[in-house]
Amino acid sequence: MNSEAQAFFNTLPKWLREDILQSGVTFNTRNELEEIARNFTNGATQQSENK
């Protein structure tokens, strides 16, 4: 991952960083990471609404 993506990754909440790393998804740019983070966040929101 490039330095811009790494800097953004470091700003994410711990739970989100852990989920992304555990998923094994790959990314190289900040834009890719932003999309992944958005997808994980939307998924977490939907799961909590379905409880």
* Residue 33 CB burial class (10 angstroms; 0-12, 13-18, ≥19): buried
Q: What is the pLDDT of residue 44?
A: 63
Q: Name the token pair of 5.
A: 């993506």
Q: What is the pLDDT of residue 43?
A: 73
The three-state secondary structure class of 16 is helix
Distance of CA 6 to the CA centre of its chain: 11
Distance of CA 21 to the CA centre of its chain: 8
Q: What is the pLDDT of residue 25?
A: 93
Q: pLDDT tens digits for 9-46? A: 999 999 999 999 999 999 999 999 999 999 999 876 55
The three-state secondary structure class of 1 is coil
Q: If pLDDT is split at 50, 70 and 90, which confidence band does 50 have?
A: low
User: Where do the structural domains in the chain lie, given as residue ranges?
Assistant: 3-49
Specify the pTM.
Answer: 0.77
Q: Name the token pair of 15.
A: 């739970």
